[in-house]
């Protein structure tokens, strides 16, 4: 009997224990759920890219075109003799780098042979003149005799007119020989044809020279020239009338500033554009303008001469541009575009025309006054992307505006 009661208890425990465990779990779960704090639902904030930019303003601009060239003399010649002979004297200034004045004697060729030629020519002139005098006397005598004894009109032969013409011709020939001899004698003295300097010297005292022997290379120092090559686009920024119209350029020459280092110090000079090269270069399609500098070797205290062969940089003022915008180079996108941030703070590309540029900035057309232009670097532009706009004040954007 006792065994039957135990079996019944065990069976009840077998069925009620799981129910008790499940009920306890439900109670505990309910308690935990009811005691959990309420968490508010937060919508994630949209992240926007911040870009830096400027607000553009329409303005005017005077472009300066930069070019480079080499200084050379306006005139350069080879000094050559027109007579042959031995050099018996040279000027102390007849040396490489020597300065000379116009008309200064540089070289003397031995004149004795030419002095002898002059003496012979003078004797020939005297003899021919005497023959003419005698012929004239004979002709006068023949005319007088014919008038006294002759009948009718005397012929030219009777009046000795052919003999007179022959005597006159001989006198003229003798005078021509004398003039030639005097000219050759004068040519034994070689004088400077202009104020200048000696670039190279080839001969000295005692050397025998012939006609056409190169004695030296001379160049003038009154005017220096610099040829500045310019592209067609650069020429378009200048006042074309002052370049191509000779009369206009004489009235208002276009001034050019030249820069170079001389003696370890930066120097500057001022010249004027006087003409263009005769033709456009066939290879580069470039036209050069010619700048003249007067008296390049006359300098003030502390200055320096504009030496022949010096490499210089030039700044040429252009014509004023209106209705343009000046931007830092950082604003360019794909060379001929900028990125505009509209009133909705979305980005879009804007085509522009670059009319002038330097290392720091570009001058463009194609914008409107008040446009917001991006200057932050963009690898890829997705038009319509919303951004956060940050205005950069002038002078803080990293470029010289």
Q: What is the dihedral of CA 248, 313, 315, 286, to 10 degrees?
A: 60
Dig out the tokens for 129 from the structure: 């003149």
Beta strand segments in 9-158, E: 49-55, 59-61, 64-73, 76-79, 85-90, 99-100, 105-109
Quote the DSSP letter at residue 85.
E
Report the pLDDT value the prediction gives residue 400, as an integer from 0 to 100: 39
Question: Would you write out the chain's pLDDT as a tens digit for each of its 401 residues?
Answer: 444 556 666 666 666 767 666 766 666 767 666 665 655 556 556 678 888 999 999 999 999 999 999 999 999 999 999 999 999 999 999 999 999 999 999 999 999 999 999 999 999 999 999 998 998 888 888 777 777 776 667 777 777 788 888 889 999 999 999 999 999 999 999 999 999 999 999 999 999 999 989 999 999 999 999 999 998 888 888 876 666 665 655 556 788 999 999 888 999 999 999 888 888 888 888 989 999 999 998 877 668 899 999 999 999 998 898 999 999 999 998 889 999 999 889 999 999 999 888 888 899 999 999 999 999 988 888 888 888 888 887 554 444 33
Quote the DSSP letter at residue 39.
P
Q: How many CB atoms lie within 10 A of CB 384?
A: 9
C-alpha 53, offset from chain centre: 36
pTM over 0.75: no
Place of tokens 């940089």: 313
Rounded distance, CA 137 to CA 270, Å? 73
Dig out the tokens for 285 from the structure: 């399609």
Report the pLDDT value the prediction gives residue 184, as an integer from 0 to 100: 96
Q: How many CB atoms lie within 10 A of CB 393?
A: 7
Beta strand segments in 221-332, E: 223-230, 254-262, 265-276, 287-294, 311-317, 321-328
Rounded distance, CA 176 to CA 64, Å? 62
Residues ≥6 apart with Cβ < 8 Å to 98: 91, 92, 197, 198
Quote the DSSP letter at residue 290.
E
Q: What is the SS3 assignment for 258-284? A: EEEEECCEEEEEEEEEEEECCCCCCCC
Local structure of 287: helix, strand or coil? strand
Local structure of 168: helix, strand or coil? helix
Measuring CA to CA, which residue among 232, 194, 201 is closest to residue 73? 194
Report the pLDDT value the prediction gives residue 398, as an integer from 0 to 100: 43
Rounded distance, CA 36 to CA 352, Å? 62
Helix or strand (DSSP H, E) at 387? strand 387-391
Report the pLDDT value the prediction gives residue 2, as an integer from 0 to 100: 47
């Amino acid at each position: 009997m006792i065994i039957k009661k135990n079996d019944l208890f065990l069976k009840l425990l077998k069925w009620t224990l799981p129910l008790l465990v499940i009920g306890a779990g439900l109670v505990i779960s309910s308690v935990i759920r009811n005691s959990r704090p309420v968490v508010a639902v937060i919508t994630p904030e949209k992240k926007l890219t911040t870009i830096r930019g400027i607000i553009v303003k329409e303005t005017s601009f005077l472009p300066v075109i930069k070019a480079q060239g080499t200084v050379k003399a306006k005139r350069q010649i080879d000094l050559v003799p027109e007579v042959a002979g031995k050099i018996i004297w040279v000027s102390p200034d007849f040396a490489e780098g020597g300065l000379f004045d116009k008309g200064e004697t540089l070289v003397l060729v031995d004149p004795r042979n030419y002095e002898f030629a002059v003496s012979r020519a003078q004797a020939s002139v005297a003899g021919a003149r005497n023959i003419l005098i005698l012929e004239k006397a004979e002709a006068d005598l023949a005319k007088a005799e014919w008038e006294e004894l002759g009948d009718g009109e005397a012929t030219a032969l009777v009046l000795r007119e052919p003999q007179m013409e022959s005597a006159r011709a001989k006198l003229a020939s003798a005078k021509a020989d004398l003039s030639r001899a005097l000219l050759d004698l004068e040519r034994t003295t070689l004088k400077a044809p202009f104020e200048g300097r000696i670039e190279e010297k080839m001969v000295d005292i005692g050397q025998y020279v012939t006609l056409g022997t190169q004695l030296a290379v001379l160049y003038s120092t009154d005017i220096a020239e610099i040829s500045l090559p310019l592209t067609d686009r650069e020429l378009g920024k200048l006042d074309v009338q002052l370049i191509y119209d000779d009369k206009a350029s004489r009235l208002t020459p276009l001034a050019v500033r030249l820069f170079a280092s001389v003696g370890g110090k930066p120097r500057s000079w001022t010249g004027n554009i006087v003409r263009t090269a005769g033709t456009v270069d066939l290879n580069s399609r470039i036209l050069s303008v010619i700048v003249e500098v007067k008296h390049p070797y006359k300098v003030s205290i502390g200055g320096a001469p504009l030496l022949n062969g010096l490499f210089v940089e030039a700044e040429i003022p252009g014509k004023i541009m209106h209705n343009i915008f000046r931007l830092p180079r950082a604003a360019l996108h794909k060379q001929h575009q900028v990125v505009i941030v509209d009133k909705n703070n979305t980005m879009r590309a804007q085509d522009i025309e670059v009319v002038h540029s330097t290392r720091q900035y570009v001058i463009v057309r194609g914008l409107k006054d008040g446009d917001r232009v991006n200057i932050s670097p963009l690898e890829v532009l997705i038009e319509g992307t919303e951004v956060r706009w940050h205005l950069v004040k002038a002078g803080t954007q990293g470029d010289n505006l």
